Amino acid sequence: CKHVGRLRLAQDHSILNPQKWCCRECATTESVWACLKCSHVACGRYIEDHALKHFEKTGHPLAMEVRDLYVFCYLCKDYVLSHLRKFRECFLNLDPSKTEQLSHGAEACELEGLCLNGGASLSRSLELIQNKEPSSKHISLCHELHTLFRVMWSGKWALVSPFAMLHSVWSLIPAFRGYDQQDAQEFLCELLHKVQQELESEGTKRRILIPFSQRKLTKQVLKVVNTIFHGQLLSQVTCVSCNYKSNTIEPFWDLSLEFPERYHCIEKGFIPLNQTQCLLTEMLAKFTETEALEGRIYACDQCNSKRRKSNPKPLVLSEARKQLMIYRLPQVLRLHLKRFRWSGRNHREKIGVHVVFDQVLTMEPYCCRDMLSSLDKETFAYDLSAVVMHHGKGFGSGHYTAYCYNTEGGFWVHCNDSKLNVCSVEEVCKTQAYILFYTQRTVQGNARISETQLQTQVQSSNNDEGRPRTFP
C-alpha cells in the first residue's frame, strides 16, 4: 500500500493503553480501530461505522484493529498485508506443466501445503494433498474444496489458511473479488452453483472411463450438491371463473422468506412493543399462503379450450389465485430471511427484527397434500444445524458470523473469522438470524449414499493415476 510510506505516526501513544480501547463515540469495546495518524479510537463496520466516519471527516486512511493488529487502508479499500501475500500469488500463478522446478508432483504438493498450513511439516502435507495441482489456467473449486476439507478434517493442524480456496473463488466468481462487503446468501448460491457445474462437467468427461457397475453410484456422487440442497415446489394457479387448477413443479435450493407487511412499515428507530419479534413459522405460512393475482391476467386452459377450436379470437383472461407448496423436501433445508429491503433512496435498508426460530422445525404444514399421504411423519422433522448472522445496520456494511452445531461433540460453536468459541444454544436462539440451516432427521432412502459405497468410489477414483480428483 503506497499510503503506508506517506504515513507520519501519531505522537500520542495513548492507544498503547488497553484501558483506552473503546470507541470515543459509542464506548463499545468490540471491533475497535485506532487511526494511525491521530490515535483516534472508534468502532468498525461490525458495530456503528464510527472509524469509517472518522476517515470520511479527516481523510486519514490507515487504521489498525487494536487487538488483532490488522491494518486497513480506506483509500485502497483493502487490508495492508506483508510481502508474503505477493510471494504466495507468485507461486499460485506458476504452471507446473511449464515450470521445470515444479515438474514433480511432490514439489507441487509442498508448495500447496505451505499455502494451506503456513509452513507446517512437509511430510504431513504430502499425506494430505493430492499429487497433482491443477494449472492456474484450470482452477477448480472442487479441487480446492477437496484439498481444504482433507486438511481441516485430518485433525493435524489447529489453524488452516483457506487462501488457495479464496484465490479460486476470486478467479471463477469475479463479482466476489476483493474485500468489499458482499451478501452471504448470494455468495453461497453462486458457490454451490459453480461446484455443481464443475461436478457435472467432470462427470461427462470421465463417463467413458468409469466401469458400468459403478455408474449409478457415480451419478449420485456427481449430483451430491443437488442431493443435499435440492427440493421442489408445487406452484398451483386456480382460475376464479371455473375453479380449474394448473400445477407446475419448480426446483429450489433455498426458500427466501418475506417479513410480514407490518415490519415493512416500521419507522427508523421505532418498533412497537407488540412487534419486537417475528416467528419463523409465521414467515413460512406467509410463503405458502394463497395470493390473488392482480387483475384479469390469467389465460385459463379450461376456459379457453373450446374457444381456441371454434375461433381465432384473443384468449379469454380471467382472475386467478396462486399458491406455493413444498412438493419435495431436501436433506438440508436452507431458509433465507429477507432482511434487506429497498428504500426510497435507492439503497437497501435492514429489517432488524428478531426472528424466533425453533430448534426442531416441522415442515408438514407447508407441504402439499399428495406429499403428506406418501411419506412418514418423521420425514417432516428438521433439526437446526447452523445459523448465519449479519452484524450491522445496512446491506453495504457490517460483518457476518456463523453458529454451527458440532454433531460429534454435541455442542454449538460461534465462528467469527479466525475465532471459534463454544457457546450455548440459548445464545444461538437470541441471534439475529439471516440464513438458517435445518437438517432432515430421516433422510429418504433414494437420496442417500452409504459410507461403504462412497469409500468404494473414492478408492476407485484414487487408482485413476494422472487425473486430479475433483470430488469435494
What is the per-residue pLDDT across 180-231, written as a single tens digit (0 to 9) for each? 778 888 999 999 998 888 887 766 555 544 455 555 555 666 778 888 999 9
Of 257, 256, 237, 262, which is closest to residue 247 (Cα–Cα)? 237
Give bridge partners of residue 404 from the DSSP assignment. 386, 413
pLDDT(455) > 80: no
The pLDDT, as a whole number, for residue 215 is 53
pLDDT(282) > 90: yes
The pLDDT, as a whole number, for residue 445 is 38
From the CB of residue 437, how many other CB atoms can be counted at a distance below 10 Å?
21
Delimit the domains of the chain by residue range. Answer: 2-79, 84-176, 230-441
Between 469 and 455, the higher pLDDT residue: 455
Provide the CA 398 distance to its chain's centre, in angstroms. Answer: 16
pLDDT(321) > 60: yes
Q: Span 248-271, mean pLDDT?
A: 78
| Vertex 339: Cα angle to 335 and 343 (nearest 5) | 145
CA dist 149 → 146, 184, 312, 393, 471 (Å) = 5, 20, 62, 33, 11
The pLDDT, as a whole number, for residue 209 is 47
Query: How many CA atoms are closer than 13 Å to the CA of 200, on its beta-carbon side?
Result: 10
**Mean pLDDT across the chain, nearest whole number?**
74
The pLDDT, as a whole number, for residue 108 is 38
3-class DSSP state of 429: helix
The pLDDT, as a whole number, for residue 205 is 57
DSSP 19: G
CA dist 364 → 250, 291, 375, 388 (Å) = 19, 20, 10, 24
Of 245, 183, 219, which is closest to residue 369 (Cα–Cα)? 245
CB 84 within 8 A of CB 103: no
* CATH fold match for the domains 2-79 and 230-441: no
Between 316 and 287, the higher pLDDT residue: 287
Q: Where are the beta strands (DSSP E) in 142-293?
A: 231-239, 245-252, 255-257, 277-279, 291-292
Q: 296-308 as b/e, with b when 16 or more CB fall inside 10 Å?
A: eebebeebeeeee
Q: Compute the distance between CA of residue 365 and CA of residue 372 in angstroms, rounded to an integer.
A: 9
Name the range with the highest mean pLDDT among 27-36, 88-97, 123-132, 461-470: 27-36
The bridge status of strand 419-423 relative to strand 348-350 is unpaired
**Domain 230-441 CATH superfamily:** Cysteine proteinases (3.90.70.10)
Q: Compute the distance between CA of residue 144 and CA of residue 142 in angstroms, rounded to an integer.
A: 6
What is the per-residue pLDDT across 383-434, written as a single tens digit (0 to 9) for each? 999 999 998 876 666 788 999 999 888 999 999 887 889 999 999 999 999 9
Between 237 and 458, the higher pLDDT residue: 237
The pLDDT, as a whole number, for residue 91 is 42
The pLDDT, as a whole number, for residue 434 is 94
Q: Compute the distance between CA of residue 306 and CA of residue 463 in angstroms, rounded to an integer.
A: 63
Name the range with the highest mean pLDDT among 1-10, 95-104, 353-362, 369-378: 353-362
Between 314 and 137, the higher pLDDT residue: 314
Q: Span 261-284, mean pLDDT?
A: 69
Give the three cell numbers for residue 118.
503456513
Q: Where are the beta strands (DSSP E) in 171-319?
A: 231-239, 245-252, 255-257, 277-279, 291-292, 298-299, 317-318
Which CATH number among 3.30.160.270, 3.30.40.10, 1.10.600.10, 3.90.1150.10 corresponds to the domain 2-79?
3.30.40.10
Q: What DSSP letter does each residue of 73-112 carry, written as one string?
A: ETTTTEE---THHHHHHHHHT--TTT-GGG-SHHHHHHHH
The pLDDT, as a whole number, for residue 70 is 77
Give bridge partners of residue 435 from the DSSP assignment. 336, 388
Q: Compute the distance between CA of residue 424 and CA of residue 441 in angstroms, rounded to an integer.
A: 22
From the CB of residue 379, how many other CB atoms can be counted at a distance below 10 Å?
19
The pLDDT, as a whole number, for residue 111 is 37
Q: Compute the distance between CA of residue 401 and CA of residue 405 in angstroms, rounded to an integer.
A: 14
Q: Span 284-289, mean pLDDT?
A: 94
For the whole model, what pTM was predicted? Answer: 0.65
Burial class (CB in 10 A: 0-12, 13-18, 19+), 240: middle
The pLDDT, as a whole number, for residue 257 is 95
Phi, psi (degrees; rounded to nearest 5) at 421: -135, 135
Q: Compute the distance between CA of residue 439 and CA of residue 384 in angstroms, rounded to an integer.
A: 6
Q: Compute the distance between CA of residue 167 and CA of residue 93 in angstroms, rounded to an integer.
A: 10
pLDDT(2) > 90: no
Phi, psi (degrees; rounded to nearest 5) at 131: -70, -20
Q: What percent of the chain has pLDDT over 90?
A: 28
What is the per-residue pLDDT across 124-163, written as a single tens digit (0 to 9) for each? 333 333 333 334 456 788 888 888 888 888 877 777 778 7
DSSP 123: H
What is the per-residue pLDDT across 20-44, written as a single tens digit (0 to 9) for each? 888 888 888 878 888 888 888 998 8
Phi, psi (degrees; rounded to nearest 5) at 180: -70, 160
What is the per-residue pLDDT across 335-379, written as a single tens digit (0 to 9) for each? 999 998 766 666 667 888 899 999 999 999 999 877 666 677 778
Split at pLDDT 50, 70, 90, the class of 276 is low
